[in-house]
Amino acid sequence: MLDEDDTATRPALWGTSPTPMVEAFHAAVWYILRYCGAAIDAAELLAWRTLLQLPLRAAAGGQSSVRAGEELELFLRLALRVPVWVRVRQLEGQYAEYLHLRPALHRLSTLCVGNHSDGREARREGEDAFVRLLGGAEVAKLAVATKGEGAAALLRVARVCELRQLAQLPLRAEAGGRGRLGAGGPVANAHHDKDGDGDAAAAGAACGRSAGAQPPSTGLPSRKEDLIHRILAMDCAAAAFAAAWDAVVGPVCRVHERLKESVHRVAELLHLLACPCGTGGVLSGLGRSRPPRPLSAALPLLAPSLLLRQAPRGVCVPTPPWWRADGAVGEVPAPPAAAPLRLFTSPASLASYLGALRLHQTLLEAAAGKPRRGGGLGLTMASHTAVEEALARLQQPRQSLGRKRGHPESTAAGGSNEPVASDERGAASVERLLQQGGLLYEHLLPFLPKYAWFACAELLVPLLLSGKEYALANQWLQKLIEEPVHVVASVCGSVTFPFYYRPQKRGKWCHRLAQNLALLGERGAALALLEKQQQNWRQQPSTAPQCAEVEAAKRLPALLQRRVRLLAAVFPSLGGGDNNNNNSNKVAVYNAVNEYQRRRFCRRCDRIAIERTLAALHRSLRRWTPFPASHVSFTSHLLAAKELTIHAARDAMDPTLWSDPSHSMTACRVERHVLRWFGAGQSGCASGWAGLHCEGRWLACLARLLLWDAYVFDPTRETTAAGASAHIWLSPLQDDPLDLVAAAAFCHRRRRLIETRLEFFEACPRETLIDYVRQRSLSREAPRRDAGGSPAREEQQRQRETESEASLWGSEEAEDDGVVLPGQPTPRRGERPEETQPAFFARDAGAAAHVLDVGDLPLLSLLRAIPQGPLCALLRRMFLSPPEEGHTVCFAGFPDLVLWREAPLSLLGPDFKLVEVKSPHDALSDKQRAAIDALCRCGFDVSVARVVEGESPCRGPHSSTDRAQEAALPSALQVL
């Protein structure tokens, strides 16, 4: 590693050495070589080595920077920019606070990429330099004299107003304006004679003022490209153009093209390791809907994350092997440490996966509505062709490979065209692990190229539907449902085990397929498809086989026992026992049971959608046939939330904004208006309700924090009866374990741990729950104002509440009387409460890497009001319920608003309410109905607020129960 510089002159951002971006680049290259090194070609390795040697080469040439790694930090930030040419003045405004920009840029422009002998390279006209720096003279030579191919790209760095000034040079020369422009020419810089400094900027401002004083020419085009073509076609003196460029634009720079591609390749591979096909990682936002980030954003996002993780640990992540701590550079790159896993075994498989990753990013941006050149149906059809061709290449017949009887290979139905074998260092491939453990390594499926292309096909379906290409959409839906992404087989090939793409979404795709068939006029086929899909969950017995009972293979149904005997030929016993003995081959039992459950699993929201469409198709096709009660066997038992009506008025200027009927408040979004409605209270007085619009983000954060041990847990052989499931944590670049993509396997491996934590949180005091969350979260919660009050009043109310609680509950007399805090278990007579916390309560130093940043979400305030029993019951339902019930670890569809009273108006405990907001002509979605049913069954107070236009028949927003509680509050306080 680089030696640390003097900390007295180091900014606070650079608390560790090397700089943040350099540290992220080191970590990325290390783990890329560890897991993808067999698929990286030699040219890419040499380019990465050249970049990592950049600080040492600058120091060897006597040009060492003030801060270590400053040149590489600047180069990486320049390489990740989208434009080819960048203005130096723009860089000064962004990086001057923590980078010595001009000296570092000068060193990058004098170091040559091709020469590796020492640090004293001669500049070769800037063509082979790390950064090519051009002043006005060089720009004039390209744009006016030679008019090279890159002249147009160079001129695009200027703004339209600056291009108009450059295009007026011939007119000013004729009018005698050359002297005014010449007076504002560049001044020699103290760092470099070709760099414009403050004097040049002042001259540019003067030139802009002189140009702004003249009336604009009517003969100049308004479009930027037309101005560029006019400048390239005009006849102007090079000296005048150079002086004008230095005054108006200033120096520009461009990163070496080959090295820029290498930096982007590192960012793509980092995205692959941390977030394969959108499964989570450093790019994921917990419970937040964000626009898709570009692949190049992985490095800038990783840099602050590493700083946060290194601060409590005091250690640095590994660096590539040729980077020495004493500054020496090895001639031959030493091989990285032997890794237990190789994600890609050949450059062809890695290239196919990266192609799918780029297309996946393009489709994400198209689905998010980002404008893109050539978008629309043309982009959709081009993506359709690209996915078809890529899948066809993956399905090509494999070359004849000799098989060994103890090590069968995957069939060609879902794998790549490379042989399935371990490399020369003994590291297993993804295909080999799937052959050995089956669904034990289901979390490694996202690293297969075919899985990545199926992820593109999933995003392609809604784009095809928006273009009314229902037939093509049905083709992809059938492929997603029926075609596996990978298949393993026995030695003889007679028994196979398929792996499907995201089997938890099969119900959604079947419903969408039936809808498309109905739109194409095939309603009979759609009805038959949905009836067959409904039978999958209706015919499951109440005592369906559980994954936790894989040891008791004899208690499985006869059909599953037969499947276990067949799979024993595919998955050899871990203990080397007899494959005919079901109890000895736990891997076969585990795969048979999980295959049975995945084939028949259907999410609750998909069941609602299927039964709703079934009813519509039955009314259309069989109107004279009695409607079978089995078609609504699930939706007929759903619990509904209580409804309330809120009268409001639309804004005259913007129909999406709402206000009160008297228009006494400013117009706002409908969710914000309902928050104000709850906070107004009776007769305009504050009601004590505090709230926010966060949908299911509050529950996602609480689940992650309360079950924190489960999310950072690495399963062992004792926790999984079928054997250890390794490679869940590949690197510290991950925020989530890889098996979180398969929620059923995630919950099963941690079932005992989750049960223990939920039992503790159901019985522990509320303050213990709050302390547990506080230790594992990073919050920027600010003093919140309720919907009808102010922060000062809220703070005073909290202070009075704290003092009253201290005087009431903290006194010795209260303890002697046996008074217990709400949520605290009642102690037995003579028993004193224990002050020691359980072993898992304390957080070790290494756990700081998994601290959850909840932002401004007031989780601690929520925990003071949320009922513990319903919260633990909801988490138990989501994480521990049997698969046949259809619950998933998904936080979509939860009510919009979360409301709570920190000062309870009821003696029974704090008030907590969830409200789903619906504007006129808006109905509950299937996900919302499923979420409301689960919340009501767990005991939450859930309401659906329907906003209607018109005057309210009665004044006051609250129900009679709320008014009764408000009236009873003074008398209750007197009693206390």
CA dihedral 331, 332, 333, 339 (to 10 degrees): -150
* pLDDT greater than 90 at residue 393: yes
CB 378 within 8 A of CB 384: no
Give the model's pLDDT for residue 22. 85
pLDDT-derived band at 788, boundaries 50, 70, 90: very low
Domain ranges of the chain: 15-128+256-313, 136-250, 348-601, 638-695+892-976, 697-801+839-860+870-885
pLDDT-derived band at 205, boundaries 50, 70, 90: very low
Secondary structure E strands in 107-183: 131-134
* pLDDT greater than 60 at residue 358: yes
463-489 average pLDDT score: 95
CB 416 within 8 A of CB 349: yes
Give the model's pLDDT for residue 377. 85
d(CA 584, CA 176): 97
Give the model's pLDDT for residue 115. 55
pLDDT over 90, % of the chain? 32
Q: Per residue in 544-582, pLDDT tens?
A: 444 445 445 567 888 888 999 999 999 876 554 444 454
- Determine which of 117-126, 140-149, 479-488 has the lowest per-residue pLDDT on average: 117-126
- Determine which of 500-509, 575-584, 916-925 has the lowest per-residue pLDDT on average: 575-584
d(CA 768, CA 764): 6
Higher-confidence residue of 811 and 272: namely 272
Give the model's pLDDT for residue 975. 35
- 283: DSSP letter: T
pLDDT-derived band at 4, boundaries 50, 70, 90: very low
d(CA 746, CA 879): 9
672-676 average pLDDT score: 91
Give the model's pLDDT for residue 777. 85
Measured in whole angstroms, the distance separating CA 321 from the mean position of its chain's CA atoms is 30
pLDDT-derived band at 720, boundaries 50, 70, 90: low
Contacts of 197 (CB under 8 A, 6+ apart): 102, 187, 189, 190, 191
631-638 average pLDDT score: 90
* pLDDT greater than 90 at residue 781: no
**Token digits of residue 771:** 């302390």
pLDDT-derived band at 842, boundaries 50, 70, 90: low
pLDDT-derived band at 516, boundaries 50, 70, 90: very high
- Determine which of 115-124, 354-363, 430-439 has the lowest per-residue pLDDT on average: 115-124
948-963 average pLDDT score: 58
177-184 average pLDDT score: 45
**Token digits of residue 889:** 């670890």
* pLDDT greater than 60 at residue 868: yes
350-365 average pLDDT score: 92
Higher-confidence residue of 212 and 632: namely 632
63-78 average pLDDT score: 76
- Determine which of 134-148, 268-282, 755-769 has the lowest per-residue pLDDT on average: 268-282
- Determine which of 62-71, 128-137, 633-642, 722-731 has the lowest per-residue pLDDT on average: 62-71
Higher-confidence residue of 149 and 678: namely 678
Rounded to the nearest integer, the mean pLDDT of the chain is 75
pLDDT over 70, % of the chain? 66
* pLDDT greater than 50 at residue 71: yes
d(CA 965, CA 681): 12
- Determine which of 380-394, 447-461, 471-485, 680-694 has the lowest per-residue pLDDT on average: 680-694
Higher-confidence residue of 677 and 171: namely 677
Higher-confidence residue of 395 and 798: namely 395
Nearest CA to 135 among 178, 102, 172, 173? 102
Contacts of 501 (CB under 8 A, 6+ apart): 445, 451, 454, 455, 458, 480, 484, 485
Radius of gyration from C-alpha coordinates of the chain: 33
109-131 average pLDDT score: 64
pTM exceeding the 0.85 threshold for the entire prediction? no
Nearest CA to 691 among 703, 670, 676, 706? 676
Q: Per residue in 305-324, pLDDT tens?
A: 665 555 443 334 454 444 44
* pLDDT greater than 90 at residue 339: no
- Determine which of 25-29, 311-315, 862-866 has the lowest per-residue pLDDT on average: 311-315
907-929 average pLDDT score: 86
pLDDT-derived band at 894, boundaries 50, 70, 90: very high
d(CA 614, CA 627): 10
CB 646 within 8 A of CB 945: yes
Q: Per residue in 438-473, pLDDT tens?
A: 999 999 999 999 999 999 999 999 999 999 999 999
Give the model's pLDDT for residue 797. 47
pLDDT-derived band at 233, boundaries 50, 70, 90: confident
Backbone angles phi, psi at 489, to 5 degrees: -135, 165
Nearest CA to 452 among 344, 598, 597? 344
Give the model's pLDDT for residue 406. 44
203-208 average pLDDT score: 42
Q: Per residue in 368-381, pLDDT tens?
A: 775 555 567 888 99
* pLDDT greater than 70 at residue 326: no
- Determine which of 44-48, 195-199, 491-495 has the lowest per-residue pLDDT on average: 195-199
d(CA 454, CA 353): 11
Q: Per residue in 141-170, pLDDT tens?
A: 888 777 666 788 888 888 989 888 888 887
Higher-confidence residue of 14 and 98: namely 98
Give the model's pLDDT for residue 459. 93
126-130 average pLDDT score: 77
CB 26 within 8 A of CB 319: yes
* pLDDT greater than 80 at residue 416: no
Give the model's pLDDT for residue 413. 47
* pLDDT greater than 70 at residue 704: yes
Quick count: other Cβ atoms within 10 Å of Cβ 924? 17
Secondary structure E strands in 6-134: 85-87, 131-134
CB 267 within 8 A of CB 299: yes
* pLDDT greater than 50 at residue 433: yes
d(CA 207, CA 219): 21
Give the model's pLDDT for residue 68. 64
398-409 average pLDDT score: 44
Specify the long-range contacts of residues 456-460, CB closer than 8 Å, at least 24 apart. Answer: 456/356, 456/359, 456/360, 456/363, 456/383, 456/386, 456/387, 457/387, 458/501, 458/502, 459/360, 459/363, 459/364, 459/367, 460/363, 460/380, 460/383, 460/384, 460/387
